[in-house]
Amino acid sequence: MYVSDTAAGGSRPRPRLSWRVPGNVLALGAVSLVTDVSSEMVTAVLPLYLTLSLGLSMLQFGALDGLYTGVTALVRLAGGQLADRWRRRKLVAGAGYGLSALCKLGLLAAGGSVPALGAVIAADRTGKGLRTAPRDALITLSAPPGALGHAFGVHRAMDTFGALLGPLAAYAVLTATGGAYDAVFVTSFCAAALGVLLLVLYVREPRETAGPRLPASLRAAAGLLRQASFRRLCVAAAALGLVTVSDAFVYLLLQQRAGLDPAVFPLLPVGSSAAYLLLAVPAGRLADRAGRAPVFLAGHAALAAACVLLLGPGWIVPVLLLHGAFYAATDGVLMAVAGPLLPAHLRTSGLALLQTGQAVARTLSSVLFGALWTVWGGDLALTAMTAGLAACALAVLPVLRPIRDNTRENTRENSREEGP
Amino acid sequence: MRRAGRAAVLAAAVVLLGGAATGYAAWSARRDPAGTDGTAATASPVAPGQLMFRAADGRVARVPLDRPSAPPTADGPRCDRFSTGGGVSVCLVARPGPVTTTDALILDRSLRQTRRVELAGVPNRARVSASGRMVSWTVFVTGDSYNQGGFSTWTGILDTRTGYAVTNMEDIPLTLGGRRYHAADVNYWGVTFAPDDNRFYATVATKGKTYLVEGDYGAWRARTLRENAECPSLSPDGTRLVFKKRVSDDPDRPWRLHVLDLATMRETPLAERDSVDDQAAWLDGRTVMYAKGRDVWSVPADGGGAPSLLVRGASSPVAVR
């Protein structure tokens, strides 16, 4: 919860829906922006570097890739637990950012060794897993509960802007150096190091409220699921995750349906990101005003609509807009729903639990969709997923509805909990 | 730290990190100056008796087939993958950009460009049939993030006689183990054409397994012949395929070259024990050649003998017959 708000008893009138964003959120946004420039620079050139400079088959690489998915989930949960236990969210997030920064130099050091490259990429991913939950917890602790949607919208927009700049930066470096991949990695490292420094200098660990320190333990974190609202949210997010069509399939189907020129294919994710960038703040503000759970569900409706278009005419721009809207209305908004439901001393663990559940569900969804495709073919598989998504969104509507009304009360409940 | 102090530290860091990045980039730009891709000013004609390959600097070079240790003539265009047959050559060139694209350049006997096909992704394999009519290539297309893994191969076939190009052959009706097969994750790579310019062989991957497929270009259908065979390359007499077989889970040495006799479907491991990730080529009817490390090696195709170094600092070898 918002600390000073709790201290004042939670009843202080606030200017509703101001455009102001807390400095800490802007600082975290700047960290994410710079870090995403760094990581997307590498993303843009890594396949080319691996296959052309090193002569390494991507398939060989892909086989390595799958091994580390489970590790990330565990690291995320452990990171959340440690951040809560030590009350050092900034430290754990910083460790994640720092690890990923070092990995950029690791790419240089790994040279042509496949296991070394696999290890570096796994470490990079571990860093990402480690930092996400503490960063989102810091955002929820830095903004007033009533404006969390806006705060997350601003953060995600900055993050996405960085992701869009990254490939351009990589291109600039490659052009300026005549194709020196190591220069891209060095530049990427410098950007990542700047991100870590921004975090150290400008992100504050929110002050704890007065009163006895409540211990954070694994048992307490698991106990979060006994709280009805949070349990409902986790179940809803995981259930929706199971019927969420993954990005790769959306782009693949769009390319097939629209008969796109293959050279345009890599631009499709750019289109989704651009829509996400434009819609993140409006969606966050709408969530603050109209309720976050409804906006979260509307985001899934947008994805369902995109799927319907994929089944039908396959219009490129509307599909990408809806796909971007799906991210804008779900990613940060889910964290904004969850934040106020979780006591401050267990917030990182709770967010990590929610994110992990969603990530695991989405991985299963890809497997499920692939299986459906094999049995029924692409069209029928997509129809089934879309129907499942719509049914699931309708089914969780009554589950999520009470959460919206409880948001304010839960905040009070938690504040009472903190000072018995 | 106070506001002014933090700003000073940040400014110093921006100068330092920006300077480091700029300095390194400037140094690397001087280290390897850019060349021109896919263009040759004046190249001597492609003629039988030559062993052509991609030299270490990316230019297409050649040596006499009977004297591979002779000093190479490197007057060809700059390519990332190269192949030639029947007077037609294909040169795959990556075009780095905010998103990487690849051009498949079709070249005439003097290595002058006659056609350019724009593709997505990163160059991987290139082949031209013996007659020069059928050209095929494979590119890697990645998703939006390497952190999410996931990539696919897009394999294209160009009929130079009709000018018709298939940029992604994934829609070819596939029969797997005798049954018509549908899946989202079907990927093809490494095509090799038979002398009739209609029958071809390739790799298909789905559900984590790879299969050797035999395809019929005219009828536009394909069927699997066996499991675990990648990057096939047909012998000049059309009776045998050299391919890489996955023999180990060790990521450092996953493949071993094998030769498959198409009449008996019997496979023979070759004497090259190192892992080779290449679509091998036939030096002659009895010997195959392939890129290993930074050099091209050759090994007898009957499983006997021992690998020997053929051309130093080379890849994409092709014998002009």
User: Are residue A188 and residue A292 in the same domain, yes or no?
Assistant: no
Q: Where are the domains of chain B?
A: 1-33, 35-319
Q: Is B304 exposed, middle or buried (0-12, 13-18, 19+ CB in 10 A)?
A: exposed
Give how far B90 is from chain A: nearest CA, Å.
17
User: Are residue A264 and residue A188 in the same domain, yes or no?
Assistant: no
Partner-chain contact A52 B80, CB within 8 Å: yes
Partner-chain contact A263 B119, CB within 8 Å: yes
Residue A40 belongs to some domain of the structure: yes
Partner-chain contact A62 B150, CB within 8 Å: yes
Of A168, A183, A206, the position where a domain reaches its end is: A206
Q: Which A residues, 309 through 368, put their C-beta within 8 Å of a C-beta on chain B? A: none
Q: What is the pLDDT of residues A135-158, one digit of tens each?
A: 999 999 999 999 999 999 999 999
The whole-number pLDDT of residue A406 equals 43
User: Are residue A166 and residue A283 in the same domain, yes or no?
Assistant: no
B11 in A contact zone (CB under 8 Å): no
For residue A236, the enclosing domain spans 217-420
Please give the Cα distance from B247 to B244 (Å, whole number).
9
B43 in A contact zone (CB under 8 Å): no
pLDDT bracket for residue A30 (50, 70, 90):
very high
B117 in A contact zone (CB under 8 Å): no
Q: What SS3 state is found at B277?
A: coil
**Within a 13 Å sphere around the CA of A273, how many CA atoms are in the beta-carbon half?**
19
User: Are residue A86 and residue A177 in the same domain, yes or no?
Assistant: yes
Partner-chain contact A266 B28, CB within 8 Å: no
Q: What is the rounded radius of gyration, in angstroms, for the C-alpha atoms of chain B?
A: 22
Partner-chain contact A247 B14, CB within 8 Å: no
**At A132, which CATH number?**
1.20.1250.20
Provide φ and ψ at A394, rounded to 5°: -70, -40
Partner-chain contact A55 B121, CB within 8 Å: no
In chain A, residues with a C-beta closer than 8 Å to the C-beta of B154 are 262
User: Are residue A194 and residue A224 in the same domain, yes or no?
Assistant: no
A402 in B contact zone (CB under 8 Å): no
Q: Which B residues, 80 through 99, put their C-beta within 8 Å of a C-beta on chain A? A: 80, 94, 96-99
Query: ipTM for the complex?
Result: 0.78
**Residue found by looking up tokens 């939670």 in the block:** A10
The whole-number pLDDT of residue A48 equals 74
User: Are residue A281 and residue A134 in the same domain, yes or no?
Assistant: no
Residue A6 belongs to some domain of the structure: no
Give how far A318 is from chain B: nearest CA, Å.
19
- Measured between alpha carbons, how far is residue B69 from residues B170, B314, B317 in Å? 41, 12, 14
Please give the Cα distance from A309 to B13 (Å, whole number).
48
Partner-chain contact B277 A60, CB within 8 Å: yes
User: Are residue A287 and residue A255 in the same domain, yes or no?
Assistant: yes
User: Are residue A385 and residue A305 in the same domain, yes or no?
Assistant: yes
Please give the Cα distance from A415 to A395 (Å, whole number).
32
For residue B8, the chain A residue with the least C-alpha distance is A201
Say yes or no to pLDDT of A58 above 80: no
The whole-number pLDDT of residue A247 equals 84
The whole-number pLDDT of residue A331 equals 95
The whole-number pLDDT of residue A257 equals 83
CB pairs under 8 A between A and B: 186
User: Are residue A222 and residue A202 in the same domain, yes or no?
Assistant: no
Please give the Cα distance from B42 to B245 (Å, whole number).
40
User: Are residue A33 and residue A177 in the same domain, yes or no?
Assistant: yes
B9 in A contact zone (CB under 8 Å): yes
Q: Residue B137 pairs with which residues in a beta bridge?
A: B126, B156
Of A162, A181, A206, the position where a domain reaches its end is: A206
Residue A15 belongs to some domain of the structure: no
User: Are residue A171 and residue A120 in the same domain, yes or no?
Assistant: yes
Nearest to A14 by CA among A408, A409, A415: A408
Q: Say if domain B35-319 classifies as CATH 2.120.10.30.
A: yes
A59 in B contact zone (CB under 8 Å): yes
Domain count for chain A, please give it: 2
Q: What is the pLDDT of residues B56-67, one digit of tens each?
A: 888 999 999 999
> B263: which residues sit within 8 A by CB, 6+ positions away?
B239
pLDDT bracket for residue A1 (50, 70, 90):
very low
Of A176, A206, A236, the position where a domain reaches its end is: A206
User: Are residue A141 and residue A163 in the same domain, yes or no?
Assistant: yes
For residue A127, the chain B residue with the least C-alpha distance is B147
Say yes or no to pLDDT of A212 above 70: no
Q: What is the pLDDT of residues B266-277, one digit of tens each?
A: 999 999 999 898
Q: What is the pLDDT of residues A85-143, one digit of tens each?
A: 998 999 999 999 999 999 999 998 987 777 788 788 888 888 998 999 999 999 999 99
Predicted confidence pLDDT, tens digits, chain B (321 residues): 688 999 999 999 999 999 999 999 999 888 765 445 555 557 788 999 999 999 988 899 999 999 999 999 988 999 999 999 999 999 999 887 777 789 999 999 999 999 999 988 889 899 999 999 999 999 987 654 333 445 678 899 999 999 999 988 988 999 998 899 988 778 899 999 999 999 999 999 887 789 999 999 999 999 999 999 999 999 999 999 999 999 987 767 789 999 999 999 999 999 999 989 899 999 999 999 999 988 999 999 999 999 999 999 999 999 998
